[in-house]
């Protein structure tokens, strides 16, 4: 584990309200937003090559966004099998606390909506478009 990943993981572990921590060099950024929104914002920001991230839940959708951002390594408290496959495919170093078959929705009734949105997509840009469309649809209710 690099120093950056250790710092990001410590930030995640130190505060249960933190959902995502990203560290690159001396810069540490944390988010308390739920779901995929904070990670989605990272795809629109700075280049994150050589950055490390610690996240509560990483499924296929989140892993694809990490690949888009150029993040070098990820720690996931919970990582799905498909998320692990994506991280491996893009050469992202990863660690996890719990490996699970799927990421389930908050109601516990089925697959997470973000996972559903990308389940048949392998192209990163298509995945980004599908995730944005799903977030917009969910925001409308």
140 contact partners, CB below 8 Å, separation of at least 6: none
Give CA separation, 125 vs 6, 38, 71, 105, 120, in Å. Answer: 30, 18, 16, 23, 13
Helices then strands (H, E): number in the chain? 6, 5
Q: What CATH number belongs to 3-140?
A: 3.40.140.30
pTM for the model stands at 0.94
As a whole number, the mean pLDDT across the chain is 94
Provide the pLDDT for residue 44: 84
Domain residue extents for the chain: 3-140
The three-class DSSP label of residue 58 is strand
pLDDT of residue 74: 98
Q: pLDDT digit string (tens) for 24-44?
A: 989 999 999 998 999 998 888
Angstrom distance (rounded) from CA 71 to CA 12: 17
pLDDT in tens, 86-114: 999 999 999 999 999 999 998 999 999 99
Q: Which of 3, 112, 110 is nearest to 56 (CA)?
A: 112
Residue 48 pLDDT level (bands cut at 50, 70, 90): confident
Question: What pLDDT does 99 receive?
Answer: 98
């Amino acid at each position: 584990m690099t120093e950056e990943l250790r710092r990001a993981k410590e930030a995640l572990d130190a505060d249960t309200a933190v959902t995502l921590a990203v560290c690159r060099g001396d810069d540490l950024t944390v988010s308390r937003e739920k779901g995929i929104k904070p990670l989605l914002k990272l795809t629109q920001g700075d280049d994150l090559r050589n950055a490390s991230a610690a996240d509560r839940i990483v499924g296929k959708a989140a892993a694809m966004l990490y690949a888009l951002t150029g993040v070098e390594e990820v720690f996931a408290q919970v990582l799905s099998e498909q998320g692990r496959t994506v991280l491996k495919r893009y050469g992202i170093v990863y660690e996890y606390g719990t490996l699970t078959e799927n990421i389930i929705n908050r109601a516990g009734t089925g697959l997470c909506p973000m996972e559903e949105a990308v389940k048949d997509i392998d192209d990163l840009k298509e995945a980004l478009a599908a995730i944005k469309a799903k977030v917009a649809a969910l925001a409308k209710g």
